[in-house]
Structure formats: C-alpha cells, structure tokens
C-alpha cells in the first residue's frame, strides 16, 4: 500500500549487497536493517512506519547468527515473515540466463548437480523470533494472499506523509474574547455621559 517506500528500499539494494554466494540469513537481516536506515525508516521512525522483512528461501542457512540478528532487530520493532520454497525430497536448482531462459541446473565445482531440500523448521524458528508468520509455498497455494492479509493487519502509515491529531485549546479563545469584552465594557462605562433629570427649571445629576 506504499509504493513510494517500497521503491526507495529497492533502490538502496544492489547485487553487491551480499558479497558471498550461498544463504546467510544473518547477512540478509543486517542488510535489510541498513536498507531501512538508508530509506529513512530507522529505529527513530518506528512509531510512524511499520517495518517488515519477508524472507523467501528453502531454509538452508550456511552461516550462523540468524536468530541473534532476528531477535535484535525485533526489539527495534521489525517483524520477520518467512516463506519456504521447495520440498523435503529435494530438487535441482534451475539457472537462467540474462534473458530469463532456462540454461540448466546449478552444479558444484565437481560438476555434480546441486540438490536443495526445504528446511521448514529453520524458517519457522526465524519467523517466531521475528514475531511474524511462516508460510509454505505450494503450486497454486494461498501463501501469498495469506502473507498480504497478515501484512494488511499491521498498523501502517504512508511513508511520504504523517498523520497527526492535534487538539486545539478552545477555552483559551473564549477566555481571550471574554477579556476583550470586559475591557470594552469598562472603557465604554467611563466614557458614558452622566444622565440628568429636569426638575422644574433646574437640571440635576441623576445620581
């Protein structure tokens, strides 16, 4: 619901954001934190913007520190949602060229096809630490709609606007108006000529 914020975050990313190949959830979480800060949604802005990290992966983590990074970022108000892709049996990893056409499956240095299997438990634990939700992607499944529904439940604010409610102290205006009217009445009273009453041929003050 906030394309401006999403575009800003995406503009702050590049293929060089993660220097090493493989899966490192800790590095991804730290990079997401940096992207939030570059996009103007650091910890000081947490009260105005809901910050969410969505991790779509097979769940295989080749580096330590993911849980610690998730718990630390969660304390700053960030939510982490995870989507598991793959099957427990495992499957090869397809590789595509720059045009998006399939050119084969990924192989290791020995020329053997790399088989990846889903590690749902790791992603479940990460979502739990990040106070988010876990989804398992299936062909024709509802995982994307479920994710969108959960994100829509979060309290959000437009990134490029901030709504504020300010209560005007109306009684101060009324007090000032009453004070002006009171001073005006005193001033008019001092300038009002004394009334006189005619008694026969003589004019006497009314009192």
Instruction: Give this prediction's pTM.
Output: 0.58
Quote the tokens at residue 140. 């024709």
Segments of the chain assigned to CATH 3.40.50.410 = 3-153
pLDDT tens digits, 97-144: 888 888 888 888 888 888 888 888 889 999 999 999 999 888 788 888
Under CATH, which number does the domain 3-153 receive?
3.40.50.410
Q: What is the rounded average pLDDT for all residues in the chain?
A: 74
* Calpha distance 28→18 (Å, rounded): 8
Supply the DSSP string of 14-52, one letter for each residue: -TTSS-SSS--HHHHHHHHHHHHHHTT-SGGGTTT--EE
Residue with more model confidence, 199 or 42: 42
Confidence of residue 163 (pLDDT cuts 50, 70, 90): very low
- pLDDT (0 to 100) of residue 7: 66
Q: What is the mean pLDDT of residues 39-68?
A: 75
Residue with more model confidence, 36 or 127: 127
Quote the tokens at residue 170. 């109306």
- pLDDT (0 to 100) of residue 34: 82
- pLDDT (0 to 100) of residue 133: 92
Confidence of residue 41 (pLDDT cuts 50, 70, 90): low
Checking if the pLDDT of 174 tops 80, the result is no
């Amino acid at each position: 619901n906030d394309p401006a914020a999403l575009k800003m975050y995406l503009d702050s990313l590049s293929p060089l954001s993660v220097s090493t190949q493989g899966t490192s959830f800790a590095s991804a979480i730290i990079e997401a934190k940096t992207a939030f800060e570059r996009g103007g949604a650091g910890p000081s802005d947490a009260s105005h913007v809901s910050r969410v990290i969505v991790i779509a992966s097979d769940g295989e983590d080749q580096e330590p520190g993911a849980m610690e990074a998730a718990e630390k970022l969660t304390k700053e108000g960030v939510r982490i949602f995870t989507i598991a892709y793959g099957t427990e049996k495992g499957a090869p990893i397809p590789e595509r060229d720059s045009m998006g056409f399939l050119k084969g499956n990924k192989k290791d240095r020995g020329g053997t096809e790399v088989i990846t299997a889903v590690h749902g438990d790791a992603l479940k634990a990460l979502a739990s630490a990040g106070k988010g939700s876990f989804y398992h992607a299936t062909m024709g499944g509802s995982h994307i709609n479920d994710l969108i529904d959960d994100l829509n439940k979060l309290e959000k604010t437009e990134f490029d606007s901030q709504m504020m409610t300010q209560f005007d102290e109306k009684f101060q205006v009324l007090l000032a108006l009453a004070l002006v009217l009171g001073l005006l009445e005193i001033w008019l009273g001092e300038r009002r000529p004394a009334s006189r009453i005619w008694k026969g041929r003589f004019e006497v003050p009314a009192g």
